[in-house]
Amino acid sequence: MGAVDQLTRLAEAARLGDGAALEAFVSASYDQVWRFCAALAGPATADDLTQETFARCVPSLRRFRGDASALTWLLSIARHVCAGELRSRGRTRMNTVADRPEDPDWLAVPDAAGEVAVADLLARLDPDRRAAFVLTQVLGLPYAEAATVCGCPVGTIRSRVARAREDLIAMISAGEAAYPGRRQARSSLSS
Amino acid sequence: MNCLSAREAISARIDGEDPALPASALDEHLASCADCRDWQQRAHELTRRARLGGPFLERDLTAQVLAAVPPVQPGPRRFARGAGLAQRGGLTAVALAQLAITVPLLILGHDHDAGAHAAHELGSFDLALAIAFAVGAIRPALSAGLAWPCGAAAAGLVATAIADLIGGQTIGADEAQHLIAVAGAALLCWQARTLRSGAAGSAVETPWPWAAPPSGREWAAGQVTVLRPETPPEPNDGGSDAAQATPPGVAARDGGKVA
């Protein structure tokens, strides 16, 4: 977790008014914040949500204490920002990534190589499961840190990740059932 | 073991986390359940794809993000904490000193050549000041409200003392005790200023050093308040920070002047 420690050190320095440290802090962390936002609320709004996350976090850097990892702190802010965004889109579209209104089919459609883009399927997950899955799989956080970001016990993360896997596997199966030829192609490719 | 809890354990094991189940029990279930074996296979495959899969950001967002964030202010946290303790400790000391003044007045009914009743009235006045300083030490958030009446009282005491000293109706030694009221009022002003200049919602009282450190839950709760969307970013943070970073002596003088 050397990278996280480095980020926390940068946050500490930025807190004390070091402009270069602030720039390094943003530069070292925006990618993970962006990917988290993109997975939670869609790539089209991820730029704005990333900016808002930092806009909220930087003024409160003064209150940041080194006893928490700067990354989990940043991601928990991002989670709140994204939750606000999803709420403002309204309950009916809560569960969907609004960037893809042209995609009415809930089935997972494999591409030419037979691979279903997992990122596209994430949008159809329950938001809590999606957050747990993205934090642990896409960003590679340990369950304990994901729990800090989500403000829930580690056991809840464990079960949400498992449920997310169940849901995704079910979606992929449904897609493959609808496109049996593609499944064949993938099987032959991977074997 | 049912498949639901088995899959939760499989999922945790794939991630190298505690499966919360004995490995032997899980392997036993896997040996007997073809569905879960298949699921494990598919979960491994899904995990590989999710870890490699996007969405990815190809651009450098640093400049864009930095342009959107307000400039960070030097964090005077250490100073603010020290200042907070100085304020609360100072107010406690001042309250005790002020209380000591009231003893001869209220209990003994004695104040120089004034009558017993006048001494009682003066004692009540001094006791009110002592209580105000004590409240300021116990509940710093109230210091803004306390600063005004205490400041006015201190200013009145000083102004009349100077006038009477010039008129030769009193001597400096007798009037020196009013400096306690002045110090208390200045501390209240300083404390009110420090709390006000904290960012919105951060008027957190400086804990006494022996108080337990805030728990993770309290910290998390604090974060939630910070994150509330309706909390507007403080646009005019700069000036207040400067005030926070003012050396104690200057701030106290400043506070006295306000009073």
| Integer CA distances (angstroms), B154 to A158, B40, B132, in order | 62, 77, 12
Q: What angle do CA B71, B80, A17 make, to 5 degrees?
A: 25
Mutate to test the interface with B, among A52, A57, A137, A154 (most CBs of B within 10 A): A137
Domain assignment of residue B109, given as a range: 78-207+243-258
Give the tens place of pLDDT for each residue, B211-246.
444 444 443 444 333 333 344 444 444 444 433 333
The pLDDT-based confidence of B199 (bands split at 50, 70, 90) is very low
Q: Which residue of A has its CA nearest to B13?
A: A158
Q: Cβ neighbours of residue B78 under 8 Å, at least 6 residues apart?
A: none
Q: Is A155 on the interface with B (CB under 8 A)?
A: yes
| Integer CA distances (angstroms), A47 to A33, A169, A172, B71, in order | 10, 29, 29, 20
> Do residue B34 and residue B106 come from a single domain?
no
Q: What's the pLDDT at A22?
A: 86
Residue B72 token pair: 């960070």
Q: Is A38 on the interface with B (CB under 8 A)?
A: yes
Q: How far is A171 from chain B (nearest CA, A)?
A: 11
Q: How far is A129 from chain B (nearest CA, A)?
A: 13
Chain B stretch 207-226, residues whose beta carbon is closer than 8 A to a beta carbon of chain A: 219-220, 222-224, 226
Asked if A137's CB is within 8 angstroms of B72's CB, the reply is no
Domain ranges of chain A: 1-102, 103-191
Within-domain flag for B226? no
Q: Per CATH, the architecture of A103-191 is what?
A: Orthogonal Bundle (1.10)
* Domain A1-102 CATH assignment equals 1.10.1740.10: yes
Residue among B12, B15, B69 whose CB faces A54 most closely: B69
Asked if A65's CB is within 8 angstroms of B57's CB, the reply is no
Chain B stretch 171-200, residues whose beta carbon is closer than 8 A to a beta carbon of chain A: 199
Q: Which residue of B has its CA nearest to A88?
A: B229
> Do residue B123 and residue B195 come from a single domain?
yes
Residue among B10, B65, B222 whose CB faces A51 most closely: B65
Within-domain flag for B222? no
Q: List chain A residues with CB under 8 Å of B46.
A: 118, 165, 168-169, 172
Asked if B61's CB is within 8 angstroms of A159's CB, the reply is no
The pLDDT-based confidence of B132 (bands split at 50, 70, 90) is very high
Asked if B73's CB is within 8 angstroms of A62's CB, the reply is yes
Instruction: Give how many domains chain B has, as a whole number.
Output: 2
Q: Is B32 on the interface with A (CB under 8 A)?
A: no
> Do residue B36 and residue B155 come from a single domain?
no
Mean predicted lDDT score pLDDT of chain B: 74
3-state SS record for chain B: CCHHHHHHHHHHHHCCCCCCCCHHHHHHHHHHCHHHHHHHHHHHHHHHHHHHCCCCCCCCCHHHHHHHCCCCCCCCHHHHHHHHHHHHHHHHHHHHHHHHHHHHHHHCCCECCECHHHHHHHHHHHHHHHHHHHHHHHCHHHHHHHHHHHHHHHHHHHHHHHHHHHCCCCCHHHHCCHHHHHHHHHHHHHHHHHHHHCCCCCCCCCCCCCCCCCCHHHHHHHHHHHHCCCCCCCCCHHHHHHHHCCCHHHHHHHHHHHC
Extract long-range pairs of A170-176: CB within 8 Å, 24+ residues apart. Answer: A171/A106, A171/A107, A171/A108, A171/A116, A171/A121, A171/A124, A172/A108, A172/A116, A172/A121, A172/B42, A172/B46, A173/B42, A174/A107, A174/A108, A175/A107, A175/A108, A175/A109, A175/A110, A175/A116, A176/A108, A176/A110
Q: How far is A80 from chain B (nearest CA, A)?
A: 7
Residue among A30, A60, A73 whose CB faces B199 most closely: A60
> Do residue B28 and residue B155 come from a single domain?
no
Q: What angle do CA A184, A190, B5 make, to 5 degrees?
A: 90
| Integer CA distances (angstroms), B251 to A29, B85, B247, in order | 38, 15, 6
> Do residue B94 and residue B182 come from a single domain?
yes
**pLDDT tens, position by position, for chain A (191 residues)?**
455 478 888 888 887 778 888 888 888 889 999 999 988 888 888 889 999 999 888 877 777 766 678 888 899 999 999 988 888 876 544 444 444 444 434 445 555 454 556 777 888 888 899 999 999 988 889 999 999 999 999 999 999 999 999 999 988 888 777 766 554 444 444 43
Asked if B72 contacts A22 with a C-beta cutoff of 8 angstroms, the reply is yes
The pLDDT-based confidence of B82 (bands split at 50, 70, 90) is confident
Asked if B62's CB is within 8 angstroms of A55's CB, the reply is no
- As a whole number, mean pLDDT of residues B152-161 equals 92
> Do residue B33 and residue B83 come from a single domain?
no
> Do residue B139 and residue B249 come from a single domain?
yes
Within-domain flag for B230? no
Asked if B223's CB is within 8 angstroms of A77's CB, the reply is yes
- Between A and B, how many CB-CB pairs are < 8 A? 158
